[in-house]
């Protein structure tokens, strides 16, 4: 049953920082549909994928972000 919760759950800002996601309803949606869902779901989370690839996840990335990893890296390099 350990696969039902994302391994990044304890440190993810979506979970741990109130107001990180502006809408409480959207935050609840992310938590139930990504963070605390099965591995099939949390492995689709763009924050999970980004952290796995880069060892960190920038604040602008949300679980359902449409940005590719290359686009995220480009944004980090050019805008941050």
Q: Where are the domains of the chain?
A: 2-79
Contact between 37 and 4 under an 8 Å Cβ cutoff? The reply is: yes
Angle at which helices 69-79 and 46-54 cross, to 10°? 70
Tell me: pLDDT of 1 over 60: no
Tell me: pLDDT of 15 over 80: yes
Kindly indicate the confidence band of residue 76, based on its pLDDT and cuts at 50, 70 and 90. Answer: very high
Q: How high does pLDDT run on average in the chain?
A: 93
Considering the entire predicted model, what is its pTM? Answer: 0.89
The mean per-residue pLDDT over the stretch 40-46 comes to 96
Tell me: pLDDT of 66 over 80: yes
Q: Measure the CA–CA gap between 36 and 38, rounded to whole angstroms.
A: 7
Q: Measure the CA–CA gap between 78 and 63, rounded to whole angstroms.
A: 22
* Percentage of the chain exceeding pLDDT 90: 91
């Amino acid at each position: 049953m350990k696969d039902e919760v994302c391994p990044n759950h304890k440190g993810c800002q979506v979970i741990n920082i109130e107001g990180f996601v502006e809408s409480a309803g959207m935050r609840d949606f992310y938590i139930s549909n990504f963070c605390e869902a099965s591995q099939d779901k949390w492995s689709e989370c763009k924050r999970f994928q980004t952290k796995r690839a880069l060892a960190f996840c920038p604040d602008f990335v949300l679980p359902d972000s449409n940005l590719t990893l290359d686009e995220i890296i480009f944004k980090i390099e050019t805008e941050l």
